[in-house]
Chain A
């Protein structure tokens, strides 16, 4: 009873709250980093150096008036933000933050596939939001977004096949353990796959330079133009939760999850004094930072360039990578 219900429910509660709090601070971090990149200070008014802005923003969104357009489809207009947030949170069930059983909710033997399939449900939130708003810019944006998501999903899934081939397992914990056994992070074994998954991750979370679905200048804000208040906040939460998911998945698949650097070098064993979950969060933070850094640096792609990159570059390279991995695996 205690092991099967109480502890998992507690873990889930802690995890959900941690993710939601992390999202609010991620937004603050993003505003600060982009401000620094543009020689500004960013939010400074609320709390010391604007730290409490992370709490002020959600409060503002919570108390805002909720507006629903008269011509909108009531059922789907309500359902869309929920459909987009829930998959982003469900995925955390199989993300291991550390080697000990305390640090993950569950370790199923199809963990990686579970992540891929649950994130593929998130696209409904975007499509239905655009359609249910009954307004032309959101509809255009949602078509763009879903075409983009589907195209890059194929590339990312194809690339993950080569990682699965290298690890020989689909379990998230198993993949990290495989890296421990081989004594090498898969980022060094599969550098091409890492780059592909990271680019695909940028595109799947609609982040710059692939943020066409939210291009303010062309689409007045994107698929969530008609949303306000808490409903808008749910889309916002989903986007940032997805960024955290991608960073965590990249950390686990390519940079050794909770393993210390150079897990096979005995001379660095003193690094094990730092617990695994700290390594995990440190690596994850690096990727979160890179996400923001890229947004502050790169200009937006054009739509045809985006589609060309996805279908004519990423997918062929991903297939080539699978073949190469297979050949090397058979020869070794």
Chain B
């Protein structure tokens, strides 16, 4: 019961803040709404008992990446509103198509998984994972079963970093 209340309150907050991010005229304000949105998502993870994920969400997204967004937004184009805000319907068709696709995908997942995972079997499937706290389990899985995806993601980030440095370097 308490979990359901928490979930629906958070869901309303997350969606509301998400709408606020894209409708606020001032860019700095939308970045602030984005931070609040990420914090709410972190709380959602706590409700799902994934404390490690929640803390990392705050540390990496709210505390790291969005700070850099804020830097860019503050330093670039302080006076004028971005072009996208002047004509809100610029990419309306593409947006509609994309959100329709996401909606279809979500509906597909719901239809596909409905009745497959019963509430009784879900904790049983997760049974062996809950022993030592989810930080240890996550670390263990990342370095054993999911080693290759983990390494691929790391290399991807490294490539992005090298690319950024190459782009930012001054021509001598």
Contact = CB atoms under 8 A, between A and B. Distances in A.
A60 to B, nearest CB: 31
Contacts, number: 63
B146 to A, nearest CB: 20
A182 B91 CA distance: 62
A317 interface: no
B29 A110 contact: no
B123 interface: no
A118 to B, nearest CB: 7
B32 A117 contact: no
A131 B74 contact: yes
B153 to A, nearest CB: 19
Interface string A64-92: 00000000010110010000000000000
A118 B43 CA distance: 13
Interface stretch (B62-70, B95-103, B159-167): B62-70
Interface string B108-136: 00000000000000000000000001010
A116 B59 CA distance: 7
A108 B51 contact: yes
Contacts of B67: 123-124, 127, 146, 150
Interface residues of B, number: 22
A128 B135 contact: no
A75 to B, nearest CB: 7
A113 B54 CA distance: 10
B55 interface: yes
Contacts of A108: 51
Interface string B22-49: 0000101100100100010000000000
B58 interface: yes
A61 to B, nearest CB: 26
Interface string A111-126: 0011011101101100
A170 interface: yes
B52 interface: yes
Given A124-B35, A127-B74, A131-B28, A113 B55 contact: yes
The secondary structure that dominates the B interface is helix
A121 B56 contact: no
A120 B133 CA distance: 24
Contacts of B71: 127, 143, 146
A322 B61 CA distance: 24
Contact of A79 (B32, B58, B63, B133): B32
Given A110-B51, A110-B135, A118 B58 contact: yes
Given A108-B51, A109-B133, A110-B51, A117 B74 contact: no
A253 to B, nearest CB: 17
Contacts of A114: 55
8 tightest A-B contacts by CB? Answer: A120-B63, A117-B59, A117-B58, A109-B133, A113-B55, A110-B51, A117-B55, A110-B55
29 contacts: A73-B26, A76-B29, A76-B32, A79-B32, A108-B51, A109-B51, A109-B133, A109-B135, A110-B52, A117-B59, A117-B62, A120-B59, A120-B63, A121-B58, A121-B62, A121-B63, A124-B70, A127-B71, A128-B70, A131-B28, A131-B74, A139-B74, A143-B71, A143-B74, A143-B75, A146-B67, A146-B71, A150-B64, A153-B63
Interface of A: 73, 75-76, 79, 108-110, 113-114, 116-118, 120-121, 123-124, 127-128, 131, 139, 143, 146, 150, 153, 170
Given A109-B51, A131-B74, 6 more contacts: A110-B135, A121-B62, A123-B67, A127-B71, A146-B71, A150-B64
